[in-house]
């Protein structure tokens, strides 16, 4: 049986025993007890991290430490200075935040294309009302059936087989599921307008097929766009309904993608085509279409040239009708071209052998116009050199 411990009471005013006086009395000595063997506590399982944090009263703020000491070891045994109480809301700014890493994660997960951007994708699914296209986002893009291309598409499966790569235009922003709306038709229209504007810039004459008419003119299709040709710009404007199904050459009067206006002209196209065939010094043939006080208008086949009164003959001319009348056939030299204003200047006086020959022997001058034109060209070159 274990003996109770002995307590030695020492009064402060008692004298201390002399170290060299020998052993103290037996009554003053405390019994010496052998040290007790350490008692081992029973082993318990090592708690996991969450349990240990809860038992030790640690929070995330304890682990992170105060904002000024971030990076140092967290304090134990209590909340760090400045830490919020458990359950109290905290802002993002209270945690370590790497903006570049966050943006990189978004780039990996979310689609970065915005409305109006052209993207490439792969067809991954088809429904009766449209096509699903993988464009690299967390959700595929959806292309409604009416946006699958220009014109009417009757078989989506043939037009967009699964796995086919397509180029589309983003037309709608992401919905709650991260899906955007895409369109092959809108992209085709944009490309068509760009091509038509380039054709206009180059002054090209294009061939179109007339597919309809109304009171004001005829309609046609050009690069998938609806074009309109006013009656006043048709060569056969009085019977424009008869042009349906025919192909005509046209050029551009107005190209406006914003208002979707594409206005064309057959007359201007004919003029442009004829101008491309003409050059100064060339001998042309036509009919007198109109007699004016200042000269004659000669129909050269879709375009008109002006034979000014001063260029008809080198002789004394009292009346224009002394030489030519409406409907007469005329051979004349081209002396000037102005495609921008659609003007062609003609001359018959240079074909005369002597001044006024047309007044007395018009038939001979017209019959020999081909041979006389060579001499006339030499005169024109001399005039150009003197003017230059």
Which of 235, 270, 305 is a domain's end point? 270
Cα gap 179→141, rounded to integer Å:
5
- Each of the 388 residues of the chain gets a pLDDT tens digit; together they read 455 555 555 555 544 544 444 444 444 444 445 555 554 544 445 455 555 545 555 455 554 555 544 444 444 444 444 445 555 555 545 545 566 665 555 455 454 456 778 888 899 998 888 899 998 877 788 999 888 888 777 788 888 999 989 989 888 877 777 788 899 888 989 999 999 999 999 888 899 999 999 999 999 999 989 999 999 999 888 889 999 999 999 999 999 999 999 999 998 888 888 888 898 889 999 999 999 999 999 998 878 899 999 999 988 888 888 889 999 999 999 999 988 788 899 999 999 989 999 999 999 999 999 888 888 888 777 777 776 6
Which of 181, 211, 229 is a domain's end point? 181
pTM of the model: 0.53
Domain hosting 258: range is 203-270
User: Of the candidates 356, 305, 294, which has an alpha carbon nearest to the alpha carbon of residue 330?
Assistant: 305
Question: Any idea what the CATH number is for the domain that residue 129 is in?
Answer: 2.40.50.140
User: Of the candidates 346, 300, 348, 298, which has an alpha carbon nearest to the alpha carbon of residue 325?
Assistant: 298
295 and 211 belong to one structural domain: no
Asked if residue 96 lies in contact with residue 64, where contact means CB atoms within 8 angstroms, the answer is yes
Cα gap 360→144, rounded to integer Å:
78
304 and 379 belong to one structural domain: yes
What domain count does the chain have? 3
228 and 297 belong to one structural domain: no
Please state the φ and ψ torsions of residue 344, each to the nearest 5 degrees: -130, 125
Which of 211, 239, 270 is a domain's end point? 270
Is 7 exposed, middle or buried, given 0-12, 13-18 or 19+ CB atoms closer than 10 A? Answer: exposed
């Amino acid at each position: 049986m274990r003996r109770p411990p002995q307590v030695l009471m020492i009064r402060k005013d008692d004298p201390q025993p002399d170290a060299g006086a020998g052993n103290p009395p037996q009554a003053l000595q405390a019994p010496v007890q052998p040290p007790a063997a350490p008692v081992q506590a029973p082993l318990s399982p090592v708690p996991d991290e969450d349990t240990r944090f809860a038992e030790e009263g640690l929070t995330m703020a304890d682990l992170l430490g105060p904002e000024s000491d971030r990076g140092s070891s967290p304090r134990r045994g209590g909340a760090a200075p400045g830490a919020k109480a458990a359950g109290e809301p905290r802002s993002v700014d209270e945690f370590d935040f790497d903006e570049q890493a966050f943006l990189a994660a978004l780039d990996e997960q979310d689609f970065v294309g915005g409305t109006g951007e052209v993207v490439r994708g792969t067809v991954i699914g088809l429904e009766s009302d449209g096509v699903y296209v993988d464009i690299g986002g967390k959700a595929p893009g959806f292309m409604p059936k009416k946006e699958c291309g220009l014109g009417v598409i009757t078989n989506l499966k043939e037009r967009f087989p699964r796995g086919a790569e397509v180029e589309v235009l983003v037309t709608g922003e992401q919905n709650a599921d991260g899906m955007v709306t895409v369109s092959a038709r809108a992209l085709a229209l944009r490309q068509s307008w760009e091509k038509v504007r380039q054709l206009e810039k180059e002054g090209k004459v294009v061939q179109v097929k007339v597919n309809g008419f109304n009171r004001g003119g005829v309609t046609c299709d050009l690069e998938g766009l609806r074009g309109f040709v006013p009656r006043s710009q048709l060569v056969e404007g009085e019977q424009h309904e008869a042009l349906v199904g025919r192909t005509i050459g046209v050029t551009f009067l107005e190209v406006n993608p914003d208002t979707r206006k594409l206005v064309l002209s057959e007359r201007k196209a004919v003029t442009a085509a004829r101008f491309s065939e003409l050059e100064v010094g060339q001998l042309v043939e036509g009919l007198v279409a109109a007699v004016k006080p200042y000269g004659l208008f000669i129909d050269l086949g879709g375009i008109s040239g002006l034979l000014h009164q001063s260029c008809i003959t080198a002789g004394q001319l009292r009346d224009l009708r002394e030489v030519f009348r409406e409907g007469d056939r005329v051979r004349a030299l081209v002396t000037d071209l102005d495609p921008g204003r659609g003007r062609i200047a003609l001359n018959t006086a240079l074909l005369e052998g002597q001044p006024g020959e047309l007044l007395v022997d018009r038939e001979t001058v017209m019959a020999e116009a081909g041979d006389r034109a060579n001499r006339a060209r030499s005169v024109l070159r001399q005039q150009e050199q003197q003017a230059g």
